[in-house]
Amino acid sequence: MLDVETAENKAVGDTTAGVFGLAGRVCVVTGAGGGIGRAIAVTLAEAGARLVILDRSADTAAETLDAVRVRGAEAVAIGCDTADEASVAAAAAQSAERMGACGVLVNNAGILRPGPLETLTSTEWHAVLSVNLTGYFHCAQAFGRQMRGNGGGAMVHIASIAAHHPTPFSGAYNVAKAGIVMLSRQLAIEWGGVGIRSNVVSPGMILTPMSAAFYAQPGAAERRSATIPGGRIGQPEDIARAVLFLASPLSAYITGDEITVDGGYTRNIMSLVPRAGYADGGT
């Protein structure tokens, strides 16, 4: 049986580590060049973490690097195509050499290639799966080895409410996101014995550069917001705060789980069903 006095439990009790216990901890964020990834990197930096910023785009990675350094964080940016196993291995080696062993991995890189399944090409199907699912596996393996050799760590994988709710004409996106949830659970049970936790954050409707086109039509944001009990479209920072909790020792006894961050949207289905006599609370 593992000693309950793990590195994470010790960090919770160490008042010098700050409330989230991430001070000085090496956190790797994939797809950190913008949107949710950048918000996660900035939020972890504000908690005192040391950041490794991975992205395919050197320009956007550099922008995130500036954003975290302004907050006083030590950080490096490394070019990486997470769909390419060799690229991930090289990035992991460079990360360890420059910053030390990874303590937190946030798998966030993703792409969207919409299209009907009837005409979706195999190339488009595999393009999405290679980044949105296989890339998560590559990073979990590469950075998980560093965690195993350093007493454990935490992994947080960004999935989506699309993992549980089919979305027509979204190509392989939903399938990949569903795969992330199961990958995380399997990692949790296989690697829990060596001190590695694995959890998922599933965003709902979040305004990011990737989703901006959905809101370009006049009135789209208002119509979408009306379906959300929280009354608004989410922001990348909403996701980042959930990631911060799961990355931190405050969640040391949580693994194989999933936090949905959607303003209550996926719990709102019955309110969309016409029910005579209930429009005003049943009076």
Could you please report the per-residue DSSP string of 92-130? HHHHHHHH-S-SEEEE-------B-TTT--HHHHHHHHI
Residues forming a β-bridge with 55: 79
173 is catalytic: yes
CA–CA dist 281, 245 (Å, integer): 36
**Catalytic option among 173, 253, 265, 278:** 173
Q: Could you read off the pLDDT of 231-270 as tens digits, one per residue?
A: 999 999 999 999 999 999 999 999 999 999 999 999 988 8
pLDDT of 1: 32
pLDDT of 211: 73
pTM score? 0.90
Name all domains of the chain by residue range, CATH numbers in brackets: 23-207+219-263 (3.40.50.720)
pLDDT of 16: 32
Using 70 as the pLDDT threshold, list the residues of the chain that sit under it: 1-17, 278-283
